[in-house]
Amino acid sequence: MKITKPRGTRDFLPEDTKKRRYVESILRQVVKNWGFSEVITPTFENLELFTLKSGEGIIGELYNFKDKGDREMTLRPELTAPVMRMYVNEMQAHQQPLKLYYFENCFRYERPQKGRFREFWQFGVELIGSRKMDADAEVIALATEMLKTVGIKGDLNVNNLGVIRHLLSVLESEEQSKIMRLVDKKDYEGLDTFLEEINAPAVLRQKLIELISLTGNDAITKARDILGDLPEIDDFQELLTMLDAYGVEYTINFGIARGLDYYTGTVFEIYAEGLGAQNQVCGGGSYQLIQLFGGGDVPSTGFGLGFDRIMEVCELETPDDVPVVIIAKDSTRLDAIKAANKLREHMPVYNDLMKRNFKAQLSYANNMGAKHVLIIGEKEVEASKVMLKDMSSGEQELLTIDEVIQKLTDR
C-alpha cells in the first residue's frame, strides 16, 4: 500500500530545502543585526491560548485534539500568542524592551489552495515593552529590510488604528469590533448595511467612509480636515517622520484595519509583486495581548512574514556547495576515507559508497556537477599525494591534502 503525504502539506526535496535554508539564513542574519534574539515555543499549546486571543470561532480552523489526560490542545496556528504566553510565564522580570524573533512551522485546518497550506512556516518578530513610535518604526523598517535583503519588492501600507477607533468610540465595543472586521475585509457593502442596522449617526457614517478611503501622501492632511487635530494623528505623523529617516518607502492607507480587537495603534501590511490575489507577505502592528494572558499592561509591536509566499517569488541564487568527489580504486578505499575525513573539516566531500569502477565514478562526478575530483590510486598513495582534477578545464595537479585544502578554500 502506498502512503501519501497528508493533504495541505509538502515534501521539500534537496534543491528546495537548500534554497529555503539559504533564504532563512539571510533573514536570520538580518534580525540578529538589528539586535533581536531567537525564541522557540512548543509545537502544541493549550487550546484556550488561541480562543482567548481570537474567540471560539477559530476552533474550526485548528488542528485541535484532546490528549491522553483529556486536556484540550491544539497545534499552533500562529506564534504571537505563544510568545506572549512565554513572556508572561518566563520573562516578565527581563529588562525591556525585549526584542525577540522566531521561525517555526504552524498549522491551520483550512482548504488548501495556491499559496495556502495546512502546514506553513512563519518568520516573526515581537518587540515587547515600548509604547513609543520609535519601536513601531524600527519593527516596520526591519520588515522592509528583511524582504529587500532576499530580493522581494514589497508595497508597504501603513495606518494608525487609533484614528479610526477615536471616531468609533461613541459606539458599543462589539459594534466597533464588527466594523473593524468589515473594514479589514474591505466589505464596504456589508459595512454600509451594518451601519444602518445599528443606526449609526449620519455624521459618523460619512466621516468613517471618507476616512477609510484615504490613501497617499496627503492622507494625513485630509484626515485632519475630517476629524480635526487628534493625538492619534500626531502619533501617526511621528511614525511616518521616523520611517522617512529609515529611508522606508510607504503608502498611507487609512483602510488598513487588521480586523482584530487586540491591535491598538500602528498597523501595516506589505504586498509583494508576482503573487496574484494572495499577495500579502507581511502583516503586523502594535497590540495588547499580555494582559489578556495574565500579565501586566505591557505593549508589544510585531509582525509575521509568510515564508512560503516569500519562497514563491524569491529569485535568489543559492551558493554553489557541490562537493568535491573522491575517486579511488578498491585497493585505496581506506586512503580515500582518511582523505575525506581531513577535507570535510573545510568543505563538502563525496566518497563513493557503491564500489563503482574508476570510469563509473568519474561519470557520476560529472553528472552531479562536481567542479573538482580527487583521484587516489596506488601511485598517489605511494607519493603521499592526491591528483586534483578540474572538471571544467581537465587540468590535473599532484598535490598534498594540505595543498588541496589551501587551493580550494582560497577560491
My answer on whether 305 and 373 are in the same domain is no
Q: Is 8 within the bounds of a domain? A: no
Q: Is 3 within the bounds of a domain? A: no
pLDDT at 260: 73
**Cα separation of 229 and 232, whole Å?**
9
Q: Is 4 within the bounds of a domain? A: no
Give me the torsion for CA of 362, 368, 372, 373, rounded to 10°: -30
- Using 50, 70 and 90 to split pLDDT, how confident is the model at 259? low
My answer on whether 76 and 126 are in the same domain is yes
Q: Is 9 within the bounds of a domain? A: no
Over residues 59-72, mean pLDDT: 95
My answer on whether 157 and 226 are in the same domain is yes
Range of the domain at 340: 324-410
Out of 56-60, 76-80, 105-109, 377-381, least confident range: 56-60
pLDDT at 115: 67
Task: Out of 265, 287, 312, pick the residue that ends a domain.
Answer: 312
pLDDT at 273: 83
My answer on whether 59 and 190 are in the same domain is yes
My answer on whether 127 and 243 are in the same domain is yes
Q: Is 2 within the bounds of a domain? A: no
My answer on whether 192 and 242 are in the same domain is yes
Q: Is 122 within the bounds of a domain? A: yes
Q: Is 319 within the bounds of a domain? A: no
Annotated binding site for L-histidine: 78-80, 108, 122, 126, 258, 262-263
**Cα separation of 246 and 237, whole Å?**
14
Query: CB neighbours of 285 closer than 8 A, spacing ≥ 6?
Result: 136, 161, 258, 263, 265, 266, 267, 268, 301, 302, 303
258: left (phi over 0), alpha (psi -120 to 50) or beta: left
My answer on whether 349 and 225 are in the same domain is no
pLDDT at 411: 63
My answer on whether 52 and 156 are in the same domain is yes
My answer on whether 40 and 93 are in the same domain is yes
pLDDT tops 90 at residue 406: yes
Grid coordinates standing for 245? 529617516
Q: Is the dihedral of CA 354, 355, 359, 361 positive or negative?
A: positive
Task: Out of 269, 290, 312, pick the residue that ends a domain.
Answer: 312
Annotated binding site: 78-80, 108, 122, 126, 258, 262-263
Between 173 and 145, the higher pLDDT residue: 145
Overall domain count for the chain: 2
CATH classification of the domain holding 391: 3.40.50.800
CATH classification of the domain holding 50: 3.30.930.10
Q: Is 370 within the bounds of a domain? A: yes
My answer on whether 342 and 281 are in the same domain is no
Over residues 28-42, mean pLDDT: 98
My answer on whether 173 and 280 are in the same domain is yes
Give me the torsion for CA of 133, 303, 101, 108, rounded to 10°: 160
Task: For residue range 115-139, list pLDDT tens digits in order.
Answer: 679 999 999 999 999 999 999 999 9
pLDDT at 127: 98
**Cα separation of 369 and 356, whole Å?**
18
Pairing of β 119-128 and β 300-306:
antiparallel
My answer on whether 293 and 337 are in the same domain is no
Task: Out of 254, 279, 312, pick the residue that ends a domain.
Answer: 312
Q: How far is CA 240 from CA 40, 126, 136, 215, in A?
A: 32, 20, 10, 14
pLDDT tops 80 at residue 362: yes
Task: For residue range 81-112, list pLDDT tens digits in order.
Answer: 999 999 999 999 999 999 999 999 999 998 87
pLDDT at 257: 87
Task: For residue range 268-318, list pLDDT tens digits in order.
Answer: 999 998 787 778 999 999 999 999 999 999 999 999 999 999 999 999 998
Percent of the chain at pLDDT > 70 equals: 99
Q: Is the dihedral of CA 337, 341, 347, 348 positive or negative?
A: positive
Task: For residue range 165-216, list pLDDT tens digits in order.
Answer: 999 988 888 888 899 889 988 888 899 889 988 988 889 989 999 999 999 9
